[in-house]
């Protein structure tokens, strides 16, 4: 009986019949989760991103505030960014100071050692500095992403739904913000509030990072507001607020999520660039960009001082981009999952048998 039902569905829908049979009886959220879990690159990136975040925050601990009045939650790593142990040079080749003690070759002293990422010019542990810099950059990335997502979604939704003078006013304001280069805005903000901590820096940068998302959401709303389900909601007496947030917004969530993930990956690059130029996180605190800037002259003699911050920046940005790609495929109902060779052969066999 089940085989005859499958044959009928294959005749009517082709290869999509297999997927329709698997998702029968599932809610939309369950279907989205099922598609996302099957996206290998997205799942690998998600696990890597979570692992990096947990490793960074547990290693360096948490520090709220600056200076002596800061509230510190210690991590599992035994050095902090303020400790200055003796500078190692005896085990380093060719008279180089502060070489890394990390050894990943089994059987030859495998382990982290006392200074796995080496030491800087004054003896500070570079592993502690890198973990603290990664913690700061990740916090700024999430703060910018959340604030820009909220502002951009609201502005784009209101503009695209109401159109008319509301649309013109909001879009002209958006165009005004877009015309100002992001680096200049970030440099001014970083110069003014960089010493207040990463949270305030992220908040101020987030207030200017929503423009691209707002224009994408507006375009999606302009298309969706003409659909039949919106007309049906109006006839049923639904308010504009309910139509926007209960009917149209869930159908635009794919575009929003992909845009926010790209925005977050761009945010960590922006913060690193500002700190590299000296307008982001300021001393005595550190970020990945400030570490690259501070030790760029050591690239030829001690390249590990340049490598580790760059590797973490690239890893986080790539993970977020792959996660966004997986979420886009999961939320887009037009995306078809990749059918295995066995399922494809089964569908072709049924089609030939019933031809």
Residue 69, C-beta contacts closer than 8 angstroms, at least 6 positions apart: none
Mean predicted lDDT score pLDDT of the chain: 78
Nearest-CA neighbor of 264 among 36, 45, 75, 30?
45
Class of domain 43-84+127-331: mainly alpha
pLDDT in tens, 141-158: 899 999 999 999 999 999
Beta-bridge partners for 111: 103
pLDDT band at 11 (very low <50, low <70, confident <90, very high): very low
- Rounded distance between C-alpha atoms, residue 312 and residue 320, angstroms: 12
pLDDT in tens, 208-263: 889 889 999 999 898 888 888 888 888 888 888 888 888 888 888 878 888 888 88
What pTM was computed for the model? 0.79
pLDDT in tens, 43-86: 999 999 999 999 988 887 776 655 566 667 777 888 888 777 77
The answer to whether the bond into 181 is cis (omega within 30° of 0) is: no
- Rounded distance between C-alpha atoms, residue 42 and residue 324, angstroms: 8
Q: What is the dihedral of CA 264, 270, 273, 279, to 10 degrees?
A: -130
* Residue 9: predicted pLDDT: 47
Nearest-CA neighbor of 116 among 131, 103, 104, 101?
101
* Residue 67: predicted pLDDT: 56
Domain map (residue ranges) of the chain: 2-38+339-354, 43-84+127-331
pLDDT in tens, 88-138: 666 677 667 777 777 766 666 666 777 888 888 788 888 888 888 888 889
């Amino acid at each position: 009986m089940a085989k005859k039902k499958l044959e009928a569905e294959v005749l009517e829908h082709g290869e999509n019949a297999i997927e329709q049979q698997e998702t029968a009886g599932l809610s939309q959220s369950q279907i989205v989760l099922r598609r996302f879990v099957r996206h290998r690159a997205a799942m690998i990136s998600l696990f890597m991103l979570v692992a990096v975040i947990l490793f960074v925050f547990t290693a360096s601990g948490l520090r709220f505030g600056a200076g002596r009045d800061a509230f510190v939650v210690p991590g599992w790593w035994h050095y902090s960014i303020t400790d200055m142990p003796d500078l190692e040079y005896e085990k380093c080749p060719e008279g180089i100071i502060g070489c890394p003690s990390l050894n990943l070759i089994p059987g030859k002293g495998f382990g982290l050692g006392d200074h796995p990422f080496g030491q800087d010019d004054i003896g500070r542990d570079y592993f502690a500095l890198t973990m603290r810099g990664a913690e700061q950059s990740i916090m700024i990335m999430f703060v910018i992403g959340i604030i820009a997502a909220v502002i951009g979604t609201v502005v784009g939704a209101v503009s695209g739904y109401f159109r008319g003078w509301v649309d013109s006013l909001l879009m002209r304001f958006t165009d005004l913000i877009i015309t100002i280069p992001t680096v200049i805005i970030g440099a001014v903000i970083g110069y003014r509030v960089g010493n207040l901590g990463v949270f305030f820096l992220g908040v101020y940068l987030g207030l200017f990072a929503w423009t691209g998302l707002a224009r994408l959401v507006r375009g999606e709303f302009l298309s969706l507001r003409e659909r039949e389900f919106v007309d049906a909601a109006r006839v049923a007496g639904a308010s504009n607020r309910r139509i926007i947030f209960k009917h149209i917004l869930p159908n635009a969530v794919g575009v929003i999520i992909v845009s926010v993930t790209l925005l977050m990956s761009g945010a960590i690059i922006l913060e690193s660039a500002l700190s590299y130029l000296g307008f982001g996180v300021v001393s005595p605190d550190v970020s990945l960009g400030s570490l690259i800037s501070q030790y760029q002259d050591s690239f030829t003699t001690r390249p590990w001082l340049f490598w580790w911050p760059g590797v973490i920046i690239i890893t986080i940005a790539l993970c977020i981009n792959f996660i966004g790609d997986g979420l886009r495929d999961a939320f887009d109902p037009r995306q078809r999952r990749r059918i295995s060779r066995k399922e494809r052969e089964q569908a072709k066999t049924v089609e030939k048998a019933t031809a």
